[in-house]
Amino acid sequence: MALNKVVKNAELALEGVQSDMTLMVGGFGLCGIPENAILELVRRKVTGLTCISNNAGVDDFGLGLLLVGKQIKKMISSYVGENKEFERQMLSGELEVDLVPQGSLAERCRAAGAGIPAFYTPAGYGTEVAEGKEVREFNGKPHILEMAFHADFAFVKAWKGDTAGNLIYKATAKNFNPVMAMAGKITVAEVEELVPAGELDPNHIHTPGVFVQRIFQGEAYEKRIERVTTRPRT
């Protein structure tokens, strides 16, 4: 019989989250972000957080809400161009920032989940990204050593999940959520639709339930668009 990993809501799902922890937060832009988990982090007023996320949300949504509340000490990200508060805190020295090439960010999460402590990549060689890192040459090309990321909690958002923690993501939400789900000591998944174990087609599951410790059905998803770009009407 499959384990039932369902918790009632975000408050129970985030039990054990404390200040000064390292958190992974899934999503790509504002797509597929764990909105309910982020709001619960805001409510709990935990501080000193290190957040590993592809981006930092916008000023009034997503991780931007934690930045406004000065709850994040360090951001490890790839793209942060849509957040003025992030820019202000970084330039003023209030926020520590580690910018990572997007592919390296994904692989450093995936490596942690696969039990790989480190790997070599050519991405970032010759730039500030490589400062202080070991360099080796492979096939005549220099590579830098990147360490796998680990997190106390990983928060991910899926389109559909079952009571055993198996997850299916939709479209762009497949970018960072699956690799982060593998890498947290405790992985919390919020889903739009929660179904009994056995109802999901095994061929369609992206994250097996073995990686997920807690799952809950989220509510009131805003699904905001980060930047609306349209053509003039003709």
Q: How far apart are CA 39 and CA 26, in angstroms?
A: 14
Question: Mind listing the domains of the chain with CATH numbers?
Answer: 17-99+150-217 (3.40.1080.10)
pLDDT for position 221:
83
Note the Cα 149 to chain centre separation in Å.
11
* The 3-state secondary structure of the chain, one letter per residue: CCCCCECCCHHHHCCCCCCCCEEEECCECCECCCHHHHHHHHHHCCCCEEEECCCCCECCECCHHHHHCCCEEEEEECCCCCCHHHHHHHHHCCCEEEECCHHHHHHHHHHHHHCCCEEEECCCCCCHHHCCCCEEEECCEEEEEEECCCEEEEEEEEEEEECCCCEECCHHHHCCHHHHHHHEEEEEEEEEEEECCCCCCHHHCCECHHHCCEEEECCCCCCCCCCCCCCCCC
pTM of the model: 0.92
Encode pLDDT of 153-169 as tens digits. Answer: 999 999 999 999 999 99
| Amino acid making up residue 37 | A
Q: How far apart are CA 13 and CA 15, in angstroms?
A: 6
Encode pLDDT of 14-67 as tens digits. Answer: 999 999 999 999 999 889 999 999 999 999 999 999 999 999 999 889 999 999
Rg for the chain, CA atoms, rounded: 18
Encode pLDDT of 80-121 as tens digits. Answer: 877 899 999 999 999 999 999 999 999 999 999 999 999 999
Q: What is the mean pLDDT of the chain?
A: 94
pLDDT for position 51:
98
User: 234: which 2 tokens?
Assistant: 């003709």
* 201 phi and psi angles, rounded to 5 deg: -70, 120
Q: How far apart are CA 207 and CA 227, in angstroms?
A: 29
